[in-house]
Amino acid sequence: METPVGSPLSTVELFEKAVRLHTPRLLAIARAIVGNRGSAEDILQQAILNLYEHRDRYDWREPAGLMRRTVVNEALRLLRQPRMTMVADDHPDRPGRPNSPADPMDQREVVSQVRAAIDQLPEHFRAALVLCEYENMSYLQIAEVLECSVPQVKTWLHRGRRQLAEKLKSLADRYA
Amino acid sequence: MDVISEQDLDLLETWLDGELSAGEAEALQARLGSEPEFASALAQLRSDREARSAMFASLAGSSAQAETILSNVKRLAAAHERRRWAMRAVRYISAAAACLLVGFLAGWFGRTRNAPVAPSAPAQAVYEVGLSDQSGQVAWQKFDSPEKARAFARDLAVWQRQQQLRNSGQVVLVADRF
């Protein structure tokens, strides 16, 4: 049933609006964290399903933090399971290259290399990086989402960036 | 970047993350102006960060994917709700069936327990004739009817009379017939 113009939106309508608005970014977060260890779409769907079934508990006017935290937790929970289905590099769930033909080949190659290098990092390094550099969250906010301390976040970021730099440097040296 | 220490790299990354205090940021700015290697390291870190940002952005989903996920979520939630209703109905029916069974069993066993007891045959009446000897001991001769008991008592009384008559010489035994 459509809500009359001017009337406040119902919980379901607010929920749907939040999903449409935030899903594209949430997919990026899920994909960055799980890499090729699982289906980011399944993770996101499960996270949103959990929120939908308890939608009355939350305020859907400012849901970004809630949705992000739920997706991150679901992704990390899945990674902790003993058996993960590896998603092949050419699986449709695995974007890695922008599809736009206007993007120069070298940029796509860089993106692909960075993606491959990040996939090799431990999941908490990946989670900290995507929340810091993609979501522009503070160390304190990241610590709350990942349920750790601020020094731990700083360590993960520092070590993740150093490992990435080494991997990408070795790739650059190989193809130089 | 070889001349830049890990500590300096960490300082630069923290500054790029926006997490330095005002004083620390001011000191870093001063170093950037006076140390070319420091500025070069910052440029490299910015380049690395831009590559990562481009990669993360390439992972973003589309509006169509958002609609698909939303549709799937609502469909799955409806299926879960139907399953919960079905499980609830099964629990209620099971509980009702269990109550009926308990009630039936209670009634069944209660039926046999409270059933009226069939009246038993009256106790066999016993008619007794007591016989006492000279020592005073009494022996009871039992009969199943008063007529037999009276007949026995009558015969005994006749015999006792005859004995008395015999013992007194008034009656003489001629023959026994047994």
Residue A176 pLDDT level (bands cut at 50, 70, 90): low
CB contact under 8 A, B55 and A118: yes
What are the CA-CA distances from residue A143 to residues A116, A125, B9, B21 (Å)? 25, 12, 21, 19
Greater confidence (B131 vs A93) lies with: B131
Average pLDDT for residues A39-64, to the nearest whole number? 93
- Is residue A35 within 8 Å of B73, Cβ to Cβ? no
pLDDT at A99: 47
Residue of A135, A95, A102 lying closest to A116 (CA atoms): A95
- Is residue B140 within 8 Å of B129, Cβ to Cβ? yes
**Pick from B10, B59, B73: CB nearest A27:** B59
Greater confidence (A6 vs B153) lies with: B153
A114 touches B: beta carbon within 8 Å: yes
pLDDT tens figures, A65-75: 999 999 999 99
Greater confidence (B154 vs B117) lies with: B154
Rg of chain B taking only CA atoms, in angstroms: 61
Instruction: Please state whether the predicted TM-score (pTM) of the whole model is above 0.95.
Output: no
**How near does any CA of chain B get to the CA of A26, in Å?**
7
Instruction: Indicate the average pLDDT of chain B.
Output: 83
pLDDT tens figures, B165-176: 777 766 555 555
Residue of A85, A10, A101, A112 lying closest to A55 (CA atoms): A10
pLDDT at A21: 95
Residue B113 pLDDT level (bands cut at 50, 70, 90): low
CB contact under 8 A, B54 and A97: no
Average pLDDT for residues B63-72, to the nearest whole number? 95
Chain B residues in contact with A95 (beta carbon < 8 A) = 58-59
pLDDT at B96: 81
pLDDT at A91: 44
Chain A residues in contact with B66 (beta carbon < 8 A) = 19-20, 23-24
What percent of chain B stands above pLDDT 90? 42
Average pLDDT for residues B80-103, to the nearest whole number? 84
Average pLDDT for residues B124-142, to the nearest whole number? 79
Residue B120 has pLDDT above 80, yes or no: no
> A65-72, long-range: CB within 8 Å, 24+ apart, which pairs?
A65/A141, A67/A18, A67/A22, A67/A26, A68/A22, A68/A26, A68/A29, A68/A131, A68/A135, A68/A145, A69/A144, A69/A145, A71/A26, A71/A29, A71/A30, A71/A43, A71/A44, A71/A47, A72/A29, A72/A33, A72/A127, A72/A131, A72/A145, A72/A146
Choose, out of A161, A162, A164, A169, the residue to mutate when testing the contact with B (most B CBs < 10 Å).
A161
Residue B123 has pLDDT above 90, yes or no: no
Cα A94 to Cα B14: distance, rounded to the nearest angstrom: 31
Instruction: Indicate the average pLDDT of chain A.
Output: 84
Report the range of poorest mean pLDDT among A105-114, A120-129, B27-36: A105-114
